[in-house]
Amino acid sequence: MDYNFLKIENNDGITILKISAPKSLNALNSTILKELGDFVDNIDPATRVLIITGDGEKSFVAGADISEMAHLNEQEGYEFGKLGAKVFRTIETLPIPVIAAVNGFALGGGCELAMCCDIRIASVKAKFGQPEVGLGIIPGFSGTYRLPKLIGQGYAKEMIYTGKIIRADEALRIGLVNSIHEPEELLPAALEMAKKMLACAPVAISLAKQSINENYDLDAPASLELESKLFGKCFATADQKEGMAAFLEKRPAKFEGK
């Protein structure tokens, strides 16, 4: 599929994906969502870390496209919500780490896109919010599911019921982002984090991600059983043999991702 709204750069195992719709501050219409869905469904197997950011200096993603949503009926609204939820769940369950480098507005569907990524880092200029109730809708791309899990119900409800927009330093304080950076240092910071991940065993990272993600919805006994099973799986990998041998032989490990 040719992409009109995605810019993709591949660099030695790290892929940078930029959402690019400058006329609408990178707002997500159904075409962009479909492109994003196609991209993640067919992600280059050489990609070991994905970084998602917004094109331009002002916006990560300013939400779902309001001009497209304005005319939807109930069934179409349901289908649009399902499309966004499906694409974002695919991103969340990719077997590789996904870092959101939030360079500007991350509102509505933009905040929801950032939240389906494993890790969020932000420019000091970034702004976050779920302003949907001001438009007569609710967060519909999984925001009511993920925001309370990330920052707790109390503050999530305040953000969602008031539609308030928060700055990057507040997003850092409430744990919505891991770190904040000067705008020109944001992508370098994301790349530096990605490179640290590249130095580690890919299968182990993937299994750790699976364990953290699936533990969300399990009770303690089931969660601990899942972790033990995935921990056991590590011992069936060449990377575990190599990682431990390298430690004992006092040399750097060379992981093959097997």
Select the residue interacting with ligand CO8 from 37, 54, 97, 140 (CB under 6 A): 140
Residue 88 within binding range of ligand CO8, rule CB under 6 A: no
Residue 141 within binding range of ligand CO8, rule CB under 6 A: yes
Question: Do residues 57 and 187 touch, judged by C-beta distance below 8 A?
Answer: no
CA torsion through residues 237, 241, 247, 252, sign: negative
Question: Is 112 an annotated catalytic residue?
Answer: yes
Q: CA 61, CA 17: separation in Å to the nearest integer?
A: 13
Shortest CB 119 distance to ligand CO8, Å: 21
Beta carbons within 10 angstroms of residue 122's beta carbon = 30
Question: Do residues 143 and 160 touch, judged by C-beta distance below 8 A?
Answer: yes
Pairing verdict, β 98-102 and 14-19: unpaired
Residue 85 within binding range of ligand CO8, rule CB under 6 A: no
Nearer to ligand CO8, 22 or 232 (CB): 22
Select the residue interacting with ligand CO8 from 2, 12, 45, 67 (CB under 6 A): 67
Shortest CB 31 distance to ligand CO8, Å: 13
Q: CA 70, CA 103: separation in Å to the nearest integer?
A: 27
Binding part of the chain for ligand CO8, among 32-40, 130-138, 214-222, 230-238 by CB under 6 A, reads 130-138
Residue 66 within binding range of ligand CO8, rule CB under 6 A: yes
DSSP string, 212-256: HHHHTTS-HHHHHHHHHHHHHHHTTSHHHHHHHHHHHTTS-----
Question: Is 132 an annotated catalytic residue?
Answer: yes
The one catalytic residue in 132, 158, 170, 256 is 132
Catalytic residue set:
112, 132
Sites of contact with ligand CO8 (CB under 6 A): 24-25, 27, 62-67, 69, 77, 80-81, 84, 105, 107-109, 131-132, 135, 139-141
